[in-house]
Amino acid sequence: MDITVFAALAEPNRLRIVELLRDGPLTVGDIADQARLRQPQASKHLRTLNEAGLVEAQAEANRRFYKLRPEPFQEMEAWLESCLRVWNERFDRLDDYLKELQSKNETDDSEE
């Protein structure tokens, strides 16, 4: 998992831009308006998101439309699923251990 993706998404304005782009491509002006940013700020955040590989721009006439790239999000999903598997295995082992302790405790209580 590329840490630059997480670094790019860690900034609240960039995360907000990604959320806006989930609904489809937008121009810098649209993003600036909806995110309540000045256009130069929006452009700077989009440049960072582009460098991290999260967005790409398509030129149409004199406007640039930004859209999300699916690959980094698919990689992030796969990484998160692997983490989830590890944690689920650990919780399953903990559950087994707690059941074992409970069983021993019940056995000890019945012997008294």
pTM beyond 0.85, yes or no: no
* 37-75 per-position pLDDT tens digit: 999 999 999 999 999 999 999 999 899 999 999 999 999
Question: Residue 112 pLDDT > 70, yes or no?
Answer: no
Long-range CB contacts (within 8 A, 24+) of 35-43: 37/13, 41/13, 42/17
Say what the pLDDT of residue 84 is.
92
Packing angle, helices 39-51 and 28-35, rounded to 10: 110
Say what the pLDDT of residue 107 is.
79
